[in-house]
Amino acid sequence: MRMLDRKLLRDLWSLRCQVMTIAMLIGAGVAVLVMSVSSFLALRGAQLAFYAESHFAEITAEVKRAPRPLLARIAELPGVATVEGRVSGDVRVDWPGAEVPVAGRILSLSGSGDQPALNRLRLLAGHLPEPTRQNEAVMHAAFAEAWGVRPGDGIALILNGRREAFRIIGIAHSPEFVFTSRQGSPLPDDRGFVVLWANEEGVARAFDMQGAFNEVSLTLAPGASEAAVTAELDRLLLPWGGRGAYGRRDQPSHRFLEDELAEQRILAVTVPVVFFGIAAFLLNIVLGRMVEAQREQIAALKALGYPAFPVAAHYAKFVAVICLLGSLLGVTAGAWMGAGMLNNYRPFFRFPEMPYLLPVWLPLLAAATSFAVALLGVYVALRRILWMPTAEALRPARQTTFGGRSLGLLGSRLGAARKIPLRGLLGRPLRTCFTVFGIAMALPMVVLGLFWWDAMDRMVDLQFDRIERGDAFVSLTDPRHARAVRELARLPGVLAAEGQRIVPVRLRAAQQSRLLALTGLPSNAELRVPRDADFRPVPIPQDGIALSRRLAETLGVREGDIVQVEMLEGARHVQDLPVAALVEDVIGFAALMEIGALNRLMREDDLVSHVALRIDPLEAGALWQHLAERPRVAATNVKAVWLRAFNEVIAGLVLTSAVTLTGFGIIIAVGVVYNSARVALQERGWEMASLRVLGFTRQEVARLRVLGFTRQEVARILLAELAVAVFLAVPIGLLLAQWILGLILGARDNESFDVPAVISSGTFAAAALVVLGAAFASAVLVRRRIDRCDLVAALKARD
């Protein structure tokens, strides 16, 4: 079939612009697939490797103070494989150069100089503390990198109110702190939060924990039940002030990583499905029309004695070449974007190694998928022609009747030349729908890229302007009487202070349970204002508990239902409470009560554990200094600093996604508009050619052109049809965007962040402009082609 192959090469070359635009469309789908799957695999691979290497604990429990010998009893529990106890505590860090107080957490190492049995450190530099040295510490890599700390540097810690100097002798990664943040914060704060490991003797002394532990980690024996071991562990720890054992699901670093992996997994499926859907749809139209345009050639091949198979194979090769081209583009771009995505992850997730890997099967899968999808598009058109009796296929395709439309009153007002585009659109309604829908699909891509800015604005607005109205948030070392609030309020620079009581709790409803922080707020709170879905303040319930809407959905409860609240502090009372209100939140899960009611539940005095502050920005520097000197202040979180970090981290991610998806939107818009115009041009060529069938000579057709159908006229008619389609497509595309966004965000399963499906009018306008611009550019390309080519010459042969 040498001649058919030669035809293939010539067809590909003569349709090179169409071939390229379709290849890019396939490339976009392949790129998204390769990018999201490969970055997911790299992240998962790094996680599994690091967890295995470092013996990451499966169950962790915090306890107020338990004697060391209890560890042996824990080890004997059925289902427990390895147990490790340690002392941990929050510290303040006197770090010169930090504009806001640096908080930290110190964890004890056995003191033998060996790695712990569980949660082993991966040292990047230096070594573990020598057995006898109590003032040596290993520092987590995140803070070390942020500040350029090296082994040998010093650090001053305020441990339980006492200042102690440490020497950093090692820099390490830890499976417990792959994602490192202050408690409850969904963003890394590498410059403001540090994790340190030091020998047990010194740490225990600082926290009065000699011969005791306040944190226990364990791994499970094969086949052991996590729930059963957790329950047993809770039972053993309860007399010693156990705060509830939890599995990896509730381990902050792990949960955040799993949330991201879950999100990636969903993106790895939904976005390529959307893309391949669009690509399949467009390939169906474009290649289908291409085959339709070659209908008489195909019929002639059949009439000349070519069996159906080589003819079908010829078109399959055509598709294969386009797909191969698209896949090459897509795999290259996808691998590049995947590696970029992984780099975006690096500030969030600290692994000793996170190599970018492109498994061989992935490009093959992507190429095969694109080929299958494209082949489907061609198959439908080809089958119709191959199965059609040859005699019928040989006849020119039946002319459309244009629905016999008179165009009504509108028609009588329009000139003949203006009726042509209108009839062109109305006469082939299905095809017009396809074209309009195809162009419309470009908009969701651009919107998906740009909406993140809207979503982030909305998240910041809701969480930090409307809900968290304070400027700083102080954690106390232990719950204090409410008088502490008044003391802080008197500090210079403090405009208002409000106490909060935050208690770790386990919420249960039916089969669901969650570990989280229950916050008690004064009923007239102004620095923390719960809001409903319409942003209206929600009064803090005097009886019962207010839950965030997302938490209520996770627990499967509604307003008025009962949830069981197990206090994981103090006497660990368990109480059933009605869900009194639902509130909106963006970050984490909120559970709120009136502070007095919470104090009563805890059977305690008027205690507060945290204080929200509104401050005078001019006196902020001095205030941080004051706070740093107060022994009962464990940590101070500053909203402005947090917001700056948020913007820095998120802005990069959002920009990457915006640029990528906008590029894809342009590829779709150009792909559809350009190909529609080219196909229309071919078809108009046929219509002109049919004049010759009616008996017009070539010269007469040429004269006809002189009589009115100038090149410009033909161009105007063609492009007018497309312009109408584009303007119809924009509003449809915007509706589609809203729908697809809802679909993708609805498929998210992320407890750390709630991304609202908000699209601003600015985003809509920008998306519409991008698509209109792409359409206009394609029209210019086609127009130039019309201007260049001699229509009459083109009519002699149908191409």
Binding site for other proteins (CB under 8 A): 1-4, 6-7, 10-11, 14, 296-297, 299-308, 389-392, 394, 396, 692-693, 697-698, 793-794, 796-799
Name the minimum Å distance from CB 397 to other proteins.
12
d(CA 103, CA 106): 10
How open is the CA angle 533-536-541, to the nearest 5 degrees?
Answer: 95
Name the minimum Å distance from CB 390 to other proteins.
4
Residue closer to other proteins, measured from CB, 707 or 793: 793
Contacts of 493 (CB under 8 A, 6+ apart): 615, 616, 618, 619, 620, 622, 623, 626
User: At residue 607, what is the residue type?
Assistant: L
Crossing angle, helix 308-345 and helix 252-293, to 10 degrees?
Answer: 150
d(CA 736, CA 753): 24
Name the minimum Å distance from CB 399 to other proteins.
15
Residue closer to other proteins, measured from CB, 430 or 793: 793
Residue closer to other proteins, measured from CB, 6 or 481: 6
Contacts of 564 (CB under 8 A, 6+ apart): 507, 508, 509, 574, 575, 576, 577
User: At residue 319, what is the residue type?
Assistant: V
Name the minimum Å distance from CB 689 to other proteins.
9
Residue closer to other proteins, measured from CB, 394 or 491: 394
Residue 389 burial class via C-beta count within 10 angstroms: exposed 0-12, middle 13-18, buried 19 and up: exposed
Place of tokens 């070594």: 127
Residue closer to other proteins, measured from CB, 6 or 383: 6
Residue closer to other proteins, measured from CB, 145 or 292: 292
Residue closer to other proteins, measured from CB, 11 or 260: 11
Name the minimum Å distance from CB 5 to other proteins.
11
Residue closer to other proteins, measured from CB, 460 or 691: 691
Residue closer to other proteins, measured from CB, 389 or 415: 389
d(CA 249, CA 246): 8
d(CA 629, CA 706): 92
Q: Find out whether 519 and 501 touch, Cβ atoms under 8 Å.
A: yes
Name the minimum Å distance from CB 293 to other proteins.
11
DSSP state letters, 245-286? EEEGGG-HHHHHHHHHHHHHHHHHHHHHHHHHHHHHHHHHHH
Name the minimum Å distance from CB 698 to other proteins.
7
Residue closer to other proteins, measured from CB, 321 or 372: 321
Q: Find out whether 176 and 348 touch, Cβ atoms under 8 Å.
A: no
Residue 303 to residues 2, 175, 621, Cα–Cα distance (Å): 19, 70, 89
Q: Find out whether 472 and 616 touch, Cβ atoms under 8 Å.
A: no
Give the Cβ contact number of residue 192 at 10 Å. Answer: 27
Name the minimum Å distance from CB 396 to other proteins.
7
d(CA 628, CA 93): 9
Residue closer to other proteins, measured from CB, 97 or 695: 695
Name the minimum Å distance from CB 378 to other proteins.
17
Name the minimum Å distance from CB 674 to other proteins.
20
d(CA 251, CA 582): 26
Q: Find out whether 652 and 340 touch, Cβ atoms under 8 Å.
A: no
Residue closer to other proteins, measured from CB, 9 or 533: 9
Name the minimum Å distance from CB 7 to other proteins.
5
Residue closer to other proteins, measured from CB, 216 or 290: 290
Name the minimum Å distance from CB 699 to other proteins.
10
Nearest partner of 241 among 89, 61, 413, 105, judged by Cα: 61
Residue 297, Ramachandran bin (φ over 0: left; ψ between -120 and 50: alpha; else beta): alpha
Tokens describing residue 530:
């719960």
The single-letter DSSP state of residue 356 is -
Name the minimum Å distance from CB 30 to other proteins.
28
